[in-house]
Chains A and B, each alone.
Chain A
Amino acid sequence: MQQTTIINLAYLLAAVLFILGLKGLTHPRTAVRGNLLGALGMLLAIVVTLLNQDIIGYELIAIGLAIGVTIGAVLAVKIQMTAMPQLVALFNGFGGGASVLVAGAELFIYQPEGPTPHWTTPVVDPLVISALLAGLIGAVTFWGSLVAFAKLQEFQAFRKPYLFPGRQVVNALLALVVLAMLVGAPFCPADNAVYWLLVLVASVLGVLLVNPIGGADMPVVIALLNSYSGLAASATGFVLGNTVLIIAGSLVGASGLILTNIMCKAMNRSLAHVLFGVLEAGEGSATADEVYGGRVKATSAEEVAMLFESARRAVIVPGYGMAVAQAQHIVRELMEVLQNKGIEVEFAIHPVAGRMPGHMNVLLAEAEVPYEQLKEMDAINPTFPQTDVVLVIGANDVVNPVARTDPKSPIAGMPILDVDKARTVVVVKRSLSPGFAGIPNPLFAADNCLMFFGDGKKAMMDLVAALKA
């Protein structure tokens, strides 16, 4: 058998292992094995690639692998679970960047057969077009992900989005330039110059597109960039004529698109609105004073502890604030104390709670909360009327009943957790400051709601102490 045949069969096996690996992720019990299968597929693909007889020297490869393994392993082992969104953003970006470089290198060495393109005799070369697409998607992914990383890491310069007037016009112009370059490529022989110019324009576009997007919309952005990193790999696969890149890339592209769609639905916003729109309080929206005006009741750890004493069922609603306060471990301790008192405890997870899909689940898993107790929105919403106490910690917009009642509100129609239907709601929060949507939350002034003001972690520690007393 020819060597190339063996290599291609090995790539096929690697692709199968990727598919089986993703299939393993459909259940927590099989997920670890699934991930290992995926890693095995990757190892196989790498090893057979290194057997290629055209490789003249392994020094550069060894140096590159050594540096990459070191950085990757250190990041993966050291990262805090609360910082997972920025790490995934960074990895997305690196994948996109690698695609830009590989497609660029491939164009350098490419010697097209047949006629040279000229403006009178266009030549549509699939390899050149694929390379341009890989460069475009890869560069947008790389720079977009770096900006997302900087925002999630809360670097000072990226705290506030830089919204210059006419940025939509600039973006549209850049998009037109990109389009013109793609369409013009078959008429122009200078492939390399066109490629790197396109990469440059796409880089600017990547920065400008992600920069105005706020923190609560990050789940959508990360999922979309995840999809792009896959599509960039797929396009690179077309450049190299390599099936395993095409398959792996399209799997990831599909995965990211599905997650993007789920996130958009959970906010009742279109992708275009997340990317280009700005959330604004609608005309006639109630002000904070009108909503809260003397009706907010503050409570204490002791009072909340007494509420729990007479409860049979409690639901905990975590939000990004729990991650910021690093309160997941003390929340698990609270769960155990309540369970020891015979109270049924479940967690209600809104799809966009946190900064990336599934963020809360990972934090609570880290704190050793069994995953059976984490309930999705649709599963837990019907149970709120039978719930004695709901504890909201670090969440705001996802429990705002205005989404159901006020069609003019910026979050109108967004599916929310119906915590207001429970007998009593306790909201752990530093102050009455609004959430990302910038609107007051009438839940805080509701008759059945008590505000437990303070830092999430400290408040939970006081509550656990009061329950144990």
Chain B
Amino acid sequence: MGLDLITGLTIFVLAVFVGFEIITKIPPTLHTPLMSGSNAISGITLVGALLAAGIDHGALARTLGTLAVILATVNVVGGFLVTHRMLGMFRRK
């Protein structure tokens, strides 16, 4: 691990607080797009999947990595696209 545990935990806890601050301000009318959009963001695992699929660590790790790339890409692409589609529908009078 290129990151020591305490630094990682610090980042984690602070980011949770940032998340709480922002997300409590999101109006209920946008809660579905929030879920699909934040869901797309959680597809960030794709970064790890790309490395697992691409780096020479043996066939097994690369196979797992490739499967993960597929799952995470569906999550990312589908999530952002469907959120975009939904948000386009929210109009003013």
Contacts and interface: CB of A to CB of B under 8 A. Distances in A.
A72 interface: yes
A365 B28 contact: no
A88 B88 CA distance: 18
Contacts of A27: 27
Interface stretch (A238-246, A285-293, A415-423): A238-246
Contact of B37 (A21, A81, A95): A21
Contacts of A55: 50-51, 54-55
Interface string B50-66: 11111111101110111
Contacts of B51: 49, 52, 54-55, 240
Interface in B42-85: 42-58, 60-62, 64-85
**Main DSSP-derived SS at the B contact region:** helix
B66 A35 contact: no
Contacts, number: 390
A5 to B, nearest CB: 12
B38 A251 contact: yes
Given A69-B77, A230-B38, A365-B89, A102 B45 contact: yes
B57 to A, nearest CB: 4
Contact of B19 (A28, A58, A109, A255): A255
A408 B50 CA distance: 55
Nearest to B32: A358
Contacts of B71: 68, 94-95, 97-98, 101
A368 B40 CA distance: 25
A250 interface: yes
Given A35-B84, A38-B40, A75 B31 contact: no
Given A61-B54, A358-B29, A361-B32, A38 B80 contact: yes
A91 B78 contact: yes
A252 B32 contact: no
Contact of A58 (B46, B49, B54): B54
Nearest to B89: A365
B89 A76 contact: no
Nearest to A67: B70
A31 interface: yes
Contact of B43 (A42, A126, A259, A368): A42
A100 B50 CA distance: 14
A75 B74 contact: yes
A172 interface: no
Contacts of B82: 75-76, 79, 84, 87
B56 A56 contact: yes
A372 B92 contact: yes
A318 interface: no
A250 B44 CA distance: 11
Interface in A223-241: 223, 226, 229-230, 232-234, 236-241
Which of B20, B23, B39 has the most chain A CB atoms closer than 10 A to its own CB? Answer: B39
Interface size bracket, B side: 35 or more
A77 B81 CA distance: 8
Interface in A203-224: 222-223
A61 B73 CA distance: 11
Given A87-B82, A246-B11, A72 B73 contact: yes
A98 B92 contact: no
B36 to A, nearest CB: 5
A344 interface: no
Interface in A424-441: none
A36 interface: yes
A138 to B, nearest CB: 9
A19 interface: yes
Contacts of B74: 68, 71-72, 75, 91, 94
A258 interface: yes
Contact of A38 (B28, B41, B90): B41
6 closest residue pairs by CB, A with B: A68-B73, A254-B19, A64-B69, A358-B31, A72-B78, A72-B77
Given A25-B26, A236-B48, 14 more contacts: A35-B84, A45-B46, A60-B66, A92-B39, A99-B45, A101-B49, A101-B65, A102-B52, A238-B3, A250-B19, A357-B31, A357-B35, A358-B29, A371-B91
23 contacts: A39-B40, A39-B84, A42-B76, A64-B53, A75-B74, A79-B82, A91-B79, A98-B45, A98-B46, A102-B64, A108-B57, A233-B43, A238-B12, A244-B47, A245-B48, A249-B44, A251-B19, A251-B23, A258-B24, A358-B35, A361-B31, A365-B91, A372-B93
